[in-house]
Structure 1
Amino acid sequence: MTNPLLADWTGPFALPPFADLSDADFGPAIETALIEARANIAAIAENPEPADFANTIAAMESASETLDKVLGVFYNLSGADSTPAREALQRDLAPKLAAYSSEITMNPALFARVRAVWEERAGLAPEEARVADLYHQMFIRAGAALTGEEAERMRAIKERLAIIQNQFTQNLLADERGWFMEIDDLSGLPDFVVDTARAAGEDRGAKGPVITLSRSLIVPFLQFSTRRDLREQAWRAWAARGANGGETDNRAIAAEILTLREERARLLGYASFADYKLEPEMAKTPDRVRDLLMRVWEPAKARAEADGAILARMMHEDGINGELEPWDWRYYSEKRRVAEHDLDEAALKPYLSLDAMLGAMFDTATKLFGLEFREIEGPFYHPDVRGWDVTRAGRHIAVFLGDYFARGSKRSGAWCSAMRSQKNLGGETRPIVINVCNFAKGAPTLLSYDDARTLFHEFGHALHQMLSNVTYEFISGTSVARDFVELPSQLYEHWLEVPEVLERHARHYETGAPMPKALLDKLLAAATYDQGFATVEYLGSALVDLAFHEGAAPADPMEKQAEVLSSLGMPAAIGMRHATPHFAHVFSGDGYSAGYYSYMWSEVMDADAFAAFEEAGGPFDPEVAGRLERFILSTGGSRPAEELYMEFRGKMPGVEPLLKGRGLLAES
């Protein structure tokens, strides 16, 4: 029988045949696709005809089409719905795919052809010239110019990194799904937390409610539980992911990853991995990154310290002596928010059901870009997944899949990916885009305001994929500078704060009544509440990431982490958002390594970009929305990021809109 992964996908929208797939299909399909891809690459490298864009770059774009198709399914399922078989295959594939990548980028004959096209790029169309330039850059940065022992060492480094970065991810997933805490004392917990904890207990086979390491469950537990001892136990488990000793401990792996990255950068002639990594980004240099982060660090730290002093006094008034601890901050901050803003999350959540916020998210995209969303039937890869046909003026734009609920088979966090990317080479290919979150499942599912913000954030990434309109997949969608990629996602968050969006969609899940104006006003007035805490926990992680990669790799990353935080004067009651042993952004792959700063770099732009709407006709101004799509959302990486932003806005922003947006500007 034909392997369903290798057959033509003839169902609606050419979706993968999820119902026909088994874990046993992936290995053989990937092996077959690798053989095909290697043959195609060899044919390009050995082509006797003079190199030109069509027979070299465009041919490479199509060479691994089958492999990309199969891996697009496999890796999406492995992250969102892992199984032991999929995890085993990931471990087996990591060095094989790294070797395949090296065979391409370190093939002298192929590199000679790429360089020949690059040298004649002035005669190409603009998009072709950009793709040729990026291909040449990719080859150089991958080590194509290395020879002899240096080339062999580069191959070995890449293969080893592929293995241990995958191991880091799997260790973290094992720790997250392996821990839970049964709770008999529900004091202080609102009904929505109790219901979620009971559902989690049923899922884990426990006799009663449990707290897991899902952010959507542990954070509200830390906010509301009156049991300080249980909060401490939960927080320590949350902070210790990847650092519990034994087979799943990630500390030695992190050290090895940093050492190999440094060696890789030095083989290529860079002073540090950070210098190597930042060269193609908007920031360009570690100094520019540090300058931005430190300009925000000082006002954020001052705000956090002032807030911490207030929370400590509240704790002491409760008769608890000693210092404010990390497991105390969220609890007393929530009490303070109720006291100062009369804003209780338990009163807010009934108006923020998942369905209501999906309606808000889609309606915003309709008003801005004319998109329409029609829910479609599966089957998809998991019963929790929902799908929509995205159209505009009757024309199919994309398939959008939403996988929103936490489960043991899913890695933590939230992300956007494309199971199939947009391209126009060889005919129009429309994307299959997926948003994955880890919300606590309920009946119905009620979101915190932070959850709703995450929903909008990931959909901003999805719009970047869905509205892409380029010829070559290499520059499609989110294939842009890492410190530019968060601009569409963080910009889209702003529409969650637009009063008319909440007035229309924030409705009580039982009665359908709109959120009372008084509650809406309180919510918007508290938009910057506790931003000292949020900014400091983020910046602590970003500055540790930068320090890890700026100079010589630390022999002991945990010691280096402590040194950096001490030098910053990190408030003791605030933990890093991502400590080293569970810092998946940085250690599960190279994506955000020396690049966790990019959220803040993009935030400088997103604050300024939303101001463009405010300065025009309002949050749905059609002319500004048109420019946003034309110069940012549809263009992918077809032009340098700074050039695209200048086209959209006419200027590059300063840091002041960011500080204002976070409520960190000093009072005048």
Structure 2
Amino acid sequence: MTDTTLAADNPFARPSHLPYELPDFSAVRHEHLRPATLAGLAEQRAEWEAIATDPAEPDVANTLEALERSGSLLRRVGPVLSTLVSSCADDELRELEAELAPLQSAHWDALYLDRRIFDRLEALAGQDLDPETAWLLRTYRKDFVRAGVQLDDESQARLRELNSRLTTLETEFSQRVVKAMDAGAVHVTDATRLAGLDEGTVAGLAQAAADRGRDGHLITLQLPTQQALLAQLEDRTLREELLTASVQRGTGGDEASDTRATLLEIARLRAERARLLGYEHHAAYVAEDGTAGTTAAVNEMLGRLAPPAVANAAAEAEDLAEAHGAPVEPWDWSFLAEKVRQERFSLDDSVLRPYLELERVLRDGVFHAAHRLFGITLTERPELAGYADGVRVWEVSEEDGSPLGLFVGDYYAREGKRGGAWMHNLVDQSHLLGQRPVVVNNLNITRPAPGEPTLLTWDEVITAFHEFGHALHGLFSNVHHPSLSGANVPRDFVEYPSQVNEMWARDPEVLARYARHHQTGEPMPTELLDALLASAQYGEGFATTEYLGAALLDQAWHQVTPEEVPTDREEVEAFSARALERAGASVRLVPPRYRSTYFNHTFGGGYDAGYYSYIWSEVLDADTVRWFETDAPTDDDGRPGRAAGQRFREVLLSRGHSADPLSFYRELRGRDSDIQPLLERRGLTAG
């Protein structure tokens, strides 16, 4: 398709009539997506050609702003397509995603390898521009160079081939990971094996089986290696079966979800592309574009954290073995740790869950904390349709009642939804385009049986606060240019605001509001609240080690030359094992948070060579929590509130990527970050 025409009855043919341009999901059908995407690609290519051939002298309006305004149709259809693919994919959508992936790769190559547009950008250098526009110009020029615009024709041709193939492979990997989660679900026909689970969870597992046309109960897999139910299942054989199903994903037991050949080709082609662009390896290419700057900085931090984390994990293993009176196996760890946690802190997820009901966690926890800090109010808009059953929409208003944006919550797992939790935008904030933000939070909570409450684990509560931190980053964006909006920041900075927001889940005042029994409304007993806060550091050896295992695997696959990538898929496990061994992070009892074969963050794209960013961002996060605790302005009750929130919003959350993000941090703290608060939080300091 080469023209830009689109049928008038296609819902993407014009901007949405709904508030804040929320996509009209009730009108969207699968058959609308392909023609709208193809028309959008063609339309934007024509707009880029007009910029490249404009006879007028380059200026901000006809070059920079023209680039920012281009692609209005793609801005409407692209987020909808990606939302449906990630949240409720079926075979038809997966086929469409696979078809469009190489076309989209070629599309962006058409821009970033266009020397004519690059020359226009270069002509703007040195002009007197306002700070945000100057930063936008710097960003475009850097991105064009990193994309290969200065390569010769032959090298550019090979680069286009690599980009197209990699996009196809990353899509394939992600789809195989979802298939592996479905294929690896553990079917339980004898309900007595579910001893240890509460009635609501058992009912949810029965519903999961029924939803897939099966009898009995179905334990669906979550994306990480550790599965939440491992902490509760008393049947040791079932625990082993569940963890084994988790760690064996993608290793060839099911051909349709075997990811090994795919990940090897991805690693090899990324290494070739990095060499073509003049970098030692793909990790060096990625680090340069982050706040880390170099792989040496990344390696130094991971290397500093690994020894104490592994030592702490080993001490925890000895502690569990002593408490258990027998050697511990990987499938025992969560179960025994939960028992020890219960004994020492009088904590038990089965005791906590009745006090952690989703609706109250959101209303009196997540939303209340945001209101206390920032004055915003969320009002549900049930007349605005989501894209799947259970998706909810809230309007977000400022303290004075003025409109801010929309928040969309998609909290339940469903067939065809990728695992994990994430935030994304349906509409980016931009003064240039006159658009307010529409942001989405995604979790994967097991849907309860009809009429039953949604009771959360403590980890799920933390995740809800975390993802809303991302949402605030998008909602508070106050920039002119859409490409600099909200969470469009370096990947090793993007997790920082979300991790800071986790602190409010543990805040005594906030916790006391939302931690109430779902039936009686009684607050969580004081001894439970105290125990929950006292246990914050328990298990950090395990948590840090499993995270570092994944981060080190990510670096290992991307700090290699093309020749160093294995060629036989049977070598994937050996390569992974050697990488962890070299880093001193090979702990049999603590498998990496993601093993290579289902590491969607890195091989599905988005966090390739960047999974280190969670802990990198946590350095900033822990130091900022220290600011809130010790240096932030306080309200009349002596606690950080509106004044502190306004400062954090103005200096950091509102500014997107309109300048160097670390400059925002220095403005907040008055200095560079200090790693000490992180070491103390994770118990990685002596004494």
Q: Which range, TM-score by smaller chain?
A: over 0.9
Cα RMSD (Å): 1.6
Which of these residues, 374, 387, 392, is aligned with residue 369 of structure 1? 374
User: What are the Cα deviations for residues 455-487 of structure 1, in whole angstroms up to 9, with x where unaligned?
Assistant: 000000000000000000111001111111111
Could you tell me which residue of structure 2 aligns to residue 390 of structure 1?
Answer: 396
* 1:623 equivalent in alignment to 2:643: yes
Three-state SS of the structure 1 residue aligned to 2:393 is strand
Could you tell me which residue of structure 1 aligns to residue 244 of structure 2?
Answer: 236
**Match of 1:565, as an amino acid?**
L
Report how far residue 236 of structure 1 moved: 1.0
Could you tell me which residue of structure 2 aligns to residue 637 of structure 1?
Answer: 657
Question: Structure 2 CA distance, aligned partners of 1:137 and 1:448?
Answer: 44
Conservation of the 8 A alpha-carbon contact between 2:181 and 2:223: no
Could you tell me which residue of structure 2 aligns to residue 604 of structure 1?
Answer: 619
Could you tell me which residue of structure 2 aligns to residue 256 of structure 1?
Answer: 265
Question: Structure 2 CA distance, aligned partners of 1:208 and 1:353?
Answer: 26
Could you tell me which residue of structure 1 aligns to residue 285 of structure 2?
Answer: 276
% identical equivalent positions: 39
Which of these residues, 66, 72, 77, is aligned with residue 73 of structure 2? 66
Aligned pairs (5 A) from 1:93-492: 93-117=100-124, 119-121=125-127, 123-183=128-188, 184=190, 185-214=193-222, 219-245=227-253, 246-317=255-326, 323-359=327-363, 360-377=365-382, 378-392=384-398, 393-426=400-433, 428-442=434-448, 443-492=452-501
Three-state SS of the structure 2 residue aligned to 1:639 is coil
Could you tell me which residue of structure 1 aligns to residue 545 of structure 2?
Answer: 536
Conservation of the 8 A alpha-carbon contact between 1:300 and 1:532: yes
**Match of 1:106, as an amino acid?**
L
Report how far residue 432 of structure 1 moved: 0.9
User: What are the Cα deviations for residues 91-148 of structure 1, in whole angstroms up to 9, with x where unaligned?
Assistant: 000010111111111112111112212x224x11111000000001111111111112
User: What are the Cα deviations for residues 253-301 of structure 1, in whole angstroms up to 9, with x where unaligned?
Assistant: 1111111111111111111111111112111111111111122212211
Report how far residue 557 of structure 1 moved: 4.0
When structure 1 is superposed on structure 2, of 541-550 and 361-370 the one drifting more is 541-550
Q: Give TM-score, length-normalised by structure 2.
A: 0.93
Report how far residue 663 of structure 1 moved: 2.9
Three-state SS of the structure 2 residue aligned to 1:36 is helix
Conservation of the 8 A alpha-carbon contact between 1:214 and 1:406: no
User: What are the Cα deviations for residues 54-111 of structure 1, in whole angstroms up to 9, with x where unaligned?
Assistant: 1111101111121121111111111011121111110000010111111111112111
Question: Structure 2 CA distance, aligned partners of 1:345 and 1:11?
Answer: 41
Cα 1:387/1:217, change in 2 over 3 Å: farther
Conservation of the 8 A alpha-carbon contact between 1:480 and 1:637: yes
Three-state SS of the structure 2 residue aligned to 1:605 is helix
Question: Structure 2 CA distance, aligned partners of 1:544 and 1:36?
Answer: 41
Question: Structure 1 CA distance, aligned partners of 2:427 and 2:258?
Answer: 34
When structure 1 is superposed on structure 2, of 285-294 and 528-537 the one drifting more is 285-294
**Match of 2:356, as an amino acid?**
L
Which of these residues, 486, 490, 507, is aligned with residue 498 of structure 1? 507
Report how far residue 215 of structure 1 moved: 6.0
Three-state SS of the structure 2 residue aligned to 1:435 is strand
**Match of 2:340, as an amino acid?**
R
Question: Structure 2 CA distance, aligned partners of 1:608 and 1:12?
Answer: 38
Question: Structure 2 CA distance, aligned partners of 1:592 and 1:408?
Answer: 24
Which of these residues, 650, 653, 668, is aligned with residue 673 of structure 2? 653
**Match of 2:651, as an amino acid?**
F
User: What are the Cα deviations for residues 318-375 of structure 1, in whole angstroms up to 9, with x where unaligned?
Assistant: xxxxx52211111111111111111111010111111111011001111111111000
Aligned pairs (5 A) from 1:510-529: 510-529=519-538
Conservation of the 8 A alpha-carbon contact between 1:99 and 1:155: yes
Structure 1: which 4+ aligned runs deviate by more than 4 Å?
Answer: 215-218
**Match of 1:225, as an amino acid?**
L
User: What are the Cα deviations for residues 137-187 of structure 1, in whole angstroms up to 9, with x where unaligned?
Assistant: 111111111112101000000000000000000001111123322221222
Aligned pairs (5 A) from 1:573-592: 573-589=589-605, 591-592=606-607
Could you tell me which residue of structure 2 aligns to residue 613 of structure 1?
Answer: 628
Question: Structure 1 CA distance, aligned partners of 2:673 and 2:642?
Answer: 22
Q: Give TM-score, length-normalised by structure 1.
A: 0.96
**Match of 1:566, as an amino acid?**
E
Conservation of the 8 A alpha-carbon contact between 2:623 and 2:675: no
**Match of 2:664, as an amino acid?**
L
Could you tell me which residue of structure 1 aligns to residue 5 of structure 2?
Answer: none
Question: Structure 2 CA distance, aligned partners of 1:215 and 1:97?
Answer: 26
Report how far residue 623 of structure 1 moved: 3.1
Question: Structure 1 CA distance, aligned partners of 2:143 and 2:60?
Answer: 16
Conservation of the 8 A alpha-carbon contact between 1:415 and 1:436: yes
Cα 1:434/1:621, change in 2 over 3 Å: same
Report how far residue 316 of structure 1 moved: 3.7
Conservation of the 8 A alpha-carbon contact between 1:190 and 1:224: no
What are the ranges of 5 or more consecutive residues in structure 1 without an aligned counterpart? 318-322
User: What are the Cα deviations for residues 562-586 of structure 1, in whole angstroms up to 9, with x where unaligned?
Assistant: 1022231422111110111111110
Three-state SS of the structure 2 residue aligned to 1:484 is helix
**Match of 1:580, as an amino acid?**
S
Report how far residue 503 of structure 1 moved: 0.8
Report how far residue 431 of structure 1 moved: 1.0
Question: Structure 2 CA distance, aligned partners of 1:72 and 1:211?
Answer: 31
Question: Structure 1 CA distance, aligned partners of 2:113 and 2:673?
Answer: 39
What are the ranges of 5 or more consecutive residues in structure 2 without an aligned counterpart? 1-7
Cα 1:200/1:217, change in 2 over 3 Å: farther
Could you tell me which residue of structure 2 aligns to residue 87 of structure 1?
Answer: 94
Could you tell me which residue of structure 2 aligns to residue 320 of structure 1?
Answer: none
Report how far residue 619 of structure 1 moved: 5.0
Question: Structure 2 CA distance, aligned partners of 1:547 and 1:181?
Answer: 31
**Match of 2:679, as an amino acid?**
L
Conservation of the 8 A alpha-carbon contact between 2:225 and 2:593: no
Could you tell me which residue of structure 1 aligns to residue 3 of structure 2?
Answer: none
Aligned length, in residue pairs: 658
**Match of 2:130, as an amino acid?**
A
Conservation of the 8 A alpha-carbon contact between 1:398 and 1:466: yes
Conservation of the 8 A alpha-carbon contact between 2:250 and 2:259: yes
Question: Structure 1 CA distance, aligned partners of 2:573 and 2:479?
Answer: 43
When structure 1 is superposed on structure 2, of 462-471 and 210-219 the one drifting more is 210-219
Three-state SS of the structure 2 residue aligned to 1:456 is helix
